[in-house]
Structure 1
Amino acid sequence: MFSSRTDMWETPQDLFDELNSEFHFTLDVCAVQGNAKCEKFYTPDDDGLSQPWDGVVWCNPPYGRDIGKWILTASIASGARGATVVMLLPARTDTRWFHDFIYQKGRVEVRFLRGRLKFGNSKNSAPFPSMVVVFRPTS
């Protein structure tokens, strides 16, 4: 399920634990039943893009064509709803979504991760670099 044949990559637990100790997440908006990182979470059946994102949100979205929708929703949730949204994303600095919603935006912090992550229980590293993006609330 979490291989290069899919756009879903399971969050490495040690990375999540480190970020959770800093942010204290209350909601995982993009999970499947077996890998949810928070007590409250949305699965594909819930359609996390159409649900409210409140509190301190964790999001490791599918890395396919719709990734920009997840990033736009994070930006809106942090601006209009006052949520803090932390996302694990592929470091694709040449994309429209990176420039439209992340790069040089006032409330957005980018943390490029050194090396390549091993997602889920994979023995191999990802074929791409990763970054953590933090969308801070406007207030």
Structure 2
Amino acid sequence: MENNLKVCLSSKKMDWTTPKDFFNKLNEEFHFTLDPCCTVENALCEKFYTPEEDGLIQDWEGEIVYCNPPYGREIGKWVKKCYEESKKENTVVVMLIPARTDTKYFHEYIYYKAREIRFLKGRLKFGGEQKGSGSAPFPSMVVVFKKKRGSYETKE
């Protein structure tokens, strides 16, 4: 059992492709315009950034962003970027990430600063290289960052 857990938490492949039906439901609600961390093969929006273009250094102002970042050690950088970009005019950011409420990034950028946190019931079945491997080895959450009427709303 310990080896299985180690494999789940240290997978060499950190890209978990969003299930299409799951994305479609979110897209019906938000109408996404940008996918900042994808490949050409799994891009979900007409406008997107590949790893070579590095969505972390791009400007997302005015976009409605769907972000399913790599789930490795870099995830904290993506959470911070999503929060910071959401403070810009007419920018909304929706993230799909593991529900890791014990992390530093959860407490610094999500718990008090997200407009909404949706914990998903059950485990998602991802696509890409993980497709067909069953449910994810972790719970997931959708985090929504956005301004409210000209000023950034936080729960602080």
Please give the TM-score of this superposition, normalised by the length of structure 2.
0.83
1:87 to 90, 95, 99: 95
Question: How many residues get paired?
Answer: 136
Q: CA deviation at 1:14?
A: 0.7
Q: CA deviation at 1:69?
A: 0.6
Corresponding position: 1:136 with 2:115:
no
Corresponding position: 1:116 with 2:123:
yes
CA distance 1:122–1:81, shift in 2 (3 Å): farther
Q: CA deviation at 1:8?
A: 0.9
CA contact (8 A) 1:49 1:73 kept: yes
Indicate the residue corresponding to 1:77 in structure 2.
85
Corresponding position: 1:48 with 2:74:
no
Runs in 1 of length 4+ with deviation above 6 angstroms? none
Corresponding position: 1:62 with 2:75:
no
For residues 85-126 of structure 1, give each alpha carbon's deviation from its aligned partner in whole angstroms, at most 9, with x where no partner exists. Answer: 000000000000000000022x52100001000000334100
Corresponding position: 1:24 with 2:24:
no
1:34 to 31, 41, 46: 41
Q: CA RMSD in A?
A: 1.5
Q: CA deviation at 1:5?
A: 3.1
2:107 to 92, 99, 102: 99
Q: CA deviation at 1:81?
A: 4.5
Q: Secondary structure at the match of 2:48?
A: coil
Q: Is there any run of 5+ residues in structure 2 with no aligned partner, and where?
A: 1-10, 151-156
Q: CA deviation at 1:7?
A: 1.1
Sequence identity percentage:
59
